[in-house]
Chains A and B, each alone.
Chain A
Amino acid sequence: MIVNTGSVSTFTFVSFSIPKFILSSFDYYYRGPTDILKALASTVSRDFTAAHYKYMDDPFLLPSKSVDVVSFTLFAKSSFRAYALSKESGRKAARYFLNTYPELFFRDDAEPKVPAFCYRELYDENTDNTEDDLRDCIANRDVPNCIIAYNNMEAKDVKINPELKQSLLELVCFYNSKEARDEEFLEEEWFQSKKENIVRRTWQDGEFAEQLFDSLPKKDARAYCTLIQGMGKYFQAGKAFKLYEEMKELNYSPTVAVFNYLIENVVFIQESGELRFEMITKLLRDMSQYNLKPNVNTFNAILFVLSRSTGWNKASNIALNTFAEMKLLNVQPSLASYYYLLLVLSSKNNGSNILYEIVREIEGKSFAIKHPADVNFFEYAMHVCCNFLSDVELGYRIHNLLSTGQNHKFFSTAYSEAVYYRNFFSLLCLSESTDTLMDVYNKYVPNIYIPEAKVMQQILQNIELYDTYHYIPQIFSDITTFQLSFRGDLADTVLTLIAKKKHQDENLQKQFVAIAWSLFNTIVERNSNVKIFPLHVKGEMYSKMILIFLNGKDFEKASAVLKYLVKEKPNDPATFIEGQTLKLLCDASLENKMMNTLKQTIDYASVIGCADVIKHIIENNEKYSLSEEFIEKFIQSSNLEAAKEDSSSSESSEPSETSESPDESSDEEK
């Protein structure tokens, strides 16, 4: 639109044009209804500080327990799984009530109506169905209703358009005559245990799909193709090949998809790699006879067969040749192709090195899903990188690839995601400094990944190696939050680490004391409660705790541990603490003039048979300038005789020394 303005007197004209873009979006550039929303959404990147949006964003309601890969029996305890599944089961319950009592849900304010939220009518034998019903069912992918409607129409001799029959056949072949999976409920699949890698025959023989095919008056090429593809998808190899032979006799030309499925099914027809490959070559020759060009799934099928015949010595060579052929035909490989290639080659010695080339090839690309096995690539690549190659550089490159675009969606289950991150973190623990490791840790924990006990152990080992003890408080607080404290010997590892030496930094030492104290309190609480399964803690751990308290100059806490042991576990040999620690405790109590504790320590030492503790005191008593009376009293009041007997019996090798020593020293005092 041009608007001319101007005044006649001065003869100046100003002209401007309104851009067509605004006036009519149809003839210049068509903008879809959601294009602006999509553009706005593209400004938002992944927020690593937040959990997945299916969880409530609140510290009290966010899951904090991990998927435990190491001991799979504990998988059920993962709160991620529990929270997500309970949400979904709520939705399922709602769906159940809607389907059971549809008459109660008469009020529906939705405008426009959302068909997914409405009651779905189920047909029975008495319903009068028309072609339109069938067409609707097919459009909604409602397989059970389709079958009922079709049977009703057949029984009442209603004429059905052959085109409609063909689309019905396509539907039932695709879903194997079963109900289609509801795409609203994906959580169960996401949290199921490791996806079944076993390929097996699931095709329903003689079910509706085959009945429909048999009832077709004129079986054309499309019907044959559809049925072969359905059988191929569910691995009914024998029947699929039989139909293929029939097709050849009838001079029908199959499609590329038919060949793709047939190649995959070769696995079930032949046993050895060589025979399988012969058969594939035959199929490929047939393909060229029909003037069909292979696509990416054809190659994926070939690689799939090779990945299942790794025992054959030529498999890896042929896999590489297949890839070369792909390049030649300018077919873009999908992630599944790389996955299968890796699978074939990593079974050979030094074969895993192909991963370097694969990563170099696909670095920086964002992928779209093309093949069901695409989702296995990242998990397996990281597995190879961590366990076969142990190359942290390569690990970073794979991880960068995962972070590119929408690639992080290439995980099929929570399990495989956890395995990926477990391998990645193991790799980092082995070869990176703690600072770098913790940078990555802070980014992914706890929202994307929660480390398992084993990985936590590795992180602690890394901390020990690089002497970066200041990370321990953070790691420990995470361990408590993820409820891993008493999983494996994690608590023991933490205590060992912090009891190892006295730290100069007083603040840090204080934090360590707090860690040990919280562990001690947890133990006391757990063991005092009869209903909860009690914790069995070894004496070493108690002695480490005492050591930490003494290092932190917190004598009261150290004596509290001892008091607890004396009171609760006086006769449990497993909890006896080390003599060296008792000696230190004695020294500390003398230093603090806590004679009660000293007495308790000596008593305890005598009970557990550590007589050299008493010896140690008497040897060192000059240092503390103990009065004569005290020693007398001390010797009398303490159950020394028992100690003597105990020690002489237990340490029979040197009885004289132990029995004599108290007397000697007392003499000296006199």
Chain B
Amino acid sequence: MRPKNLFLCLRFQTISSRLFFEKRFYGIQKSSADEEEFDKLNIMPRMFVKGDREPLAKREALRPQLTPRYNRMPVDQDWNSVWPTAKMFNPSAVPLPVHMGKLKTVSGPKPPPGKFANPELMKVPNFLHLAPPAIKKHCDAIRKFCTPWPQALTDEMCDKYFPLEVITSDYCHASPTIREPKARIITIRIKLSSLDLDYHAKDKLKRILQHRYDPKTDLITIVADKCPLKSQNIDYAKYLLTACFFEAWKTESWESEKEQSDWETFFWEKSPSKASLINYFKKTFQNFNEENFLEKDTVKDYSKSVKNLFDKEENDELLEDYRKNVEKLLFDERL
């Protein structure tokens, strides 16, 4: 037998020839014009024909459908059993008149569409499985796996004795693989104040950490994702923290070469402001004692306002403060 070569006719055509009526049940029709041509295979041949048979949609409509099952739900049912886990919104199972989305029409805005055939409701994650009674039930069920929280352990004590916080994430979704590359990324957090550091070390640590330190919350945050495994990343982050800590305690020889432009804050003690003040008083008063002078409140106030002017944003208040302190120093000061 000659193997039949089949062409797929994918375009809809309107064919009214009697021949086609007869052949459509076989799906294969022979071209009458040329015997040598390939036979054609019509996919869904019935769809082309009008009249002879009821259209599919109508036949389907004749088949009785079930009413959506929320109609049969008792009022006092156990919702947890109906919706036990997270799943996509199902209008026939939710006995709530939910509306979502927007309809823009020529005639103006319309109320949000209802729950049936509403893709907006399907797209968003819903929390229908997390109704408060369900959560309560879940908690009761897994309570037997837990021990009570030690009562003496307050939040402050937690901060004090368990300062290091390790944040990991696990992923669970329906896919062939249970591996998720994002699960390797970990974060460790610790308060800077809980580390044993002096001023220099603290400053140096902040410089080493750069954006990893947040001065507002005083938190050091280290994110590690270099290694393929979670535990490796945790170890690596801990190593980084340790290395930074010990590096901060070291004072290198070149650190003495720090100039005013490198200062993290204004040091009045080292500044030309102090030098010129001392210089001025030395010239003005014969019996000038530098040590006693520096102990005075006026000097301390003056130094503070200078420091503020350098460190903070300049404003009228600071300038006024500076003016007052300068006046005090110049005119009230009697040695």
Contacts and interface: CB of A to CB of B under 8 A. Distances in A.
Interface of A: 3, 5, 14-19, 21-22, 31, 35-36, 39-47, 49-50, 57-60, 62, 64, 108-112, 442, 446-447, 477, 480-481, 483, 525
Given A50-B82, A58-B90, A110-B177, A17 B69 contact: no
7 contacts: A14-B152, A39-B145, A40-B142, A43-B134, A64-B64, A108-B176, A481-B65
B160 interface: yes
Contacts of B69: 49-50, 57, 59, 447
Interface stretch (B16-24, B73-81, B303-311, B324-332): B73-81
B77 A49 contact: yes
Contacts of A481: 64-67
Nearest to A109: B176
Interface in B133-161: 134, 137-138, 140-142, 144-148, 150-153, 157, 160-161
B145 A35 contact: yes
A442 B147 CA distance: 43
A339 B145 CA distance: 40
B66 A446 contact: yes
A36 B142 contact: yes
Nearest to A56: B90
Given A18-B150, A39-B145, A110-B176, A57 B90 contact: yes
Interface centre among A15, A21, A58, A109 (most CB of B within 10 A): A58
A44 B129 CA distance: 11
Contacts of B273: none
Contacts of A108: 176
B178 A112 contact: yes
A580 B194 CA distance: 101
Given A49-B72, A59-B92, A442-B72, A36 B145 contact: yes
Contacts of A64: 64-66
Interface string B29-65: 0000000000000000000000000000000001011
Contacts of A18: 150
Nearest to B72: A49
Nearest to A44: B84
B82 A47 contact: yes
B212 interface: no
Interface of B: 62, 64-70, 72-74, 77-78, 80-82, 84, 90, 92-93, 134, 137-138, 140-142, 144-148, 150-153, 157, 160-161, 175-179
A161 to B, nearest CB: 36
A46 B66 contact: no
Nearest to A31: B145
Contacts of B145: 31, 35-36, 39
B93 A57 contact: yes
Nearest to B179: A111
A40 B177 contact: no
Contacts of B84: 41, 43-44
A41 B141 CA distance: 9
A22 B73 contact: no
Nearest to A439: B74
A357 to B, nearest CB: 34
Contacts of B150: 16-19
Given A49-B69, A57-B92, A44 B177 contact: no
B95 to A, nearest CB: 9
A111 B65 CA distance: 41
Contacts of A62: 66
B151 A16 contact: yes
Q: Top 4 closest A-B pairs, CB basis?
A: A16-B152, A19-B147, A111-B177, A16-B150
Contacts of B144: 39
A17, A22, A39, A41 pick with most chain B CB within 10 angstroms: A39
A325 B140 CA distance: 43
Nearest to B84: A44
A42 B152 CA distance: 34
B37 to A, nearest CB: 32
Given A36-B145, A39-B142, A39-B145, A109 B177 contact: yes
A276 B269 CA distance: 114
A62 B63 CA distance: 12
A21 B142 CA distance: 14
A15 B152 contact: yes
Contacts of A46: 81
A431 B230 CA distance: 66
A442 B67 CA distance: 13
Contacts of B153: 16
A16 B156 CA distance: 14
Contacts of A60: 65
Given A17-B150, A64-B65, A447-B69, 8 more contacts: A5-B157, A36-B142, A43-B84, A49-B77, A62-B66, A64-B64, A112-B178, A446-B66
A301 to B, nearest CB: 40
Nearest to A39: B141
Most buried by B among A49, A58, A108, A447: A49
A112 B62 CA distance: 48
A558 to B, nearest CB: 25
A112 B249 CA distance: 47
Contacts of B70: 49
Nearest to B144: A39
A480 B65 CA distance: 9
Contacts of A446: 66
A40 to B, nearest CB: 6
Nearest to B78: A45
Contacts of A14: 152, 157
A285 to B, nearest CB: 50
Contacts of A5: 157, 160-161
A43 B64 contact: no
Contacts of B147: 19, 21-22
A483 B64 contact: yes
Contacts of B82: 47, 49-50
B181 to A, nearest CB: 11
B123 to A, nearest CB: 18
Contacts of A40: 138, 141-142
A520 to B, nearest CB: 16
A265 B112 CA distance: 71
B92 to A, nearest CB: 5
A395 to B, nearest CB: 22
B300 to A, nearest CB: 32
A447 B161 CA distance: 57
A447 B66 CA distance: 11
A111 B72 contact: no
A44 B83 CA distance: 9
Contacts of B73: 49
Contacts of A21: 146-147
Most buried by B among A45, A59, A110: A59
A525 B140 CA distance: 58
A496 to B, nearest CB: 22
A59 B177 contact: no
A173 B122 CA distance: 52
A138 B28 CA distance: 50
Contacts of B67: 59, 477, 481
Given A5-B160, A111-B177, A446-B66, A43 B151 contact: no
A14 B62 CA distance: 77
A118 to B, nearest CB: 12
A442 B176 CA distance: 40
Contact of A111 (B141, B148, B176): B176
A87 B77 CA distance: 30
B141 A42 contact: yes
A363 to B, nearest CB: 24
Contacts of B161: 3, 5
A13 B249 CA distance: 32
Given A49-B73, A111-B178, A442-B72, A43 B66 contact: no
